[in-house]
């Protein structure tokens, strides 16, 4: 019941290794600093269009949460926060998981 916009505001800053086979620590290290805001994302955050709004980050696959943590870091950096997003007062997170079959197309 709330209005929302989908905005592609992140991009890879550098190449990362394939995550399969990496443990949680290795995944965090692999992704550290790998994402950044797009120019459009920076403009939106700096102009205040979304700086006080809620930002929802979506990842199509959840294992250790390293990708979402890196995405939150990049968005927090774009908002001008110098602390980790997970410790900012307004940051909240939720993980929603579904089985792969939930995404299958019903071809009946």
Name the DSSP letter for residue 47. Answer: H
On whether residue 74 sits in a domain, the answer given is: yes
Convert the pLDDT of each residue in 72-94 to its tens digit. Answer: 888 888 776 544 444 344 455 66
Contact 42, 11 (CB under 8 A): no
Phi, psi of 36 (to 5 degrees): -145, 165
On whether residue 4 sits in a domain, the answer given is: no
The C-alpha atoms of residue 19 and residue 17 are separated, in whole angstroms, by 6
On whether residue 108 sits in a domain, the answer given is: no
On whether residue 3 sits in a domain, the answer given is: no
The tally of domains found in the chain comes to 1
On whether residue 5 sits in a domain, the answer given is: no
Q: Supply the range of the domain harboring residue 32.
A: 10-103
Residue 27's pLDDT is 93
> What is the value of pTM for the model shown?
0.69
Phi, psi of 32 (to 5 degrees): -55, 120
Binned at pLDDT 50, 70 and 90, residue 66 comes out as confident
Residue 85's pLDDT is 45
Contact 68, 34 (CB under 8 A): no
On whether residue 1 sits in a domain, the answer given is: no
The C-alpha atoms of residue 19 and residue 59 are separated, in whole angstroms, by 14
Alpha helices (H) in 13-98, listed in sequence order: 24-31, 39-47, 66-78
């Amino acid at each position: 019941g709330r209005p929302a916009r989908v905005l592609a505001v992140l991009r890879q800053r550098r190449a990362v290794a394939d995550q399969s086979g990496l443990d949680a620590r290795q995944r965090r290290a692999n992704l550290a600093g790998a994402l950044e805001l797009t120019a459009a994302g920076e403009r939106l955050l700096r102009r205040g269009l979304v700086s006080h709004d809620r930002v929802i980050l979506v990842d199509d696959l959840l294992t250790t949460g390293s990708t979402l943590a890196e995405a939150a870091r990049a968005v927090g950096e774009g908002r001008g926060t110098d602390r980790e997003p997970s410790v900012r007062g307004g940051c909240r997170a939720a993980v929603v998981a579904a089985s792969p079959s939930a995404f299958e197309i019903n071809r009946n």
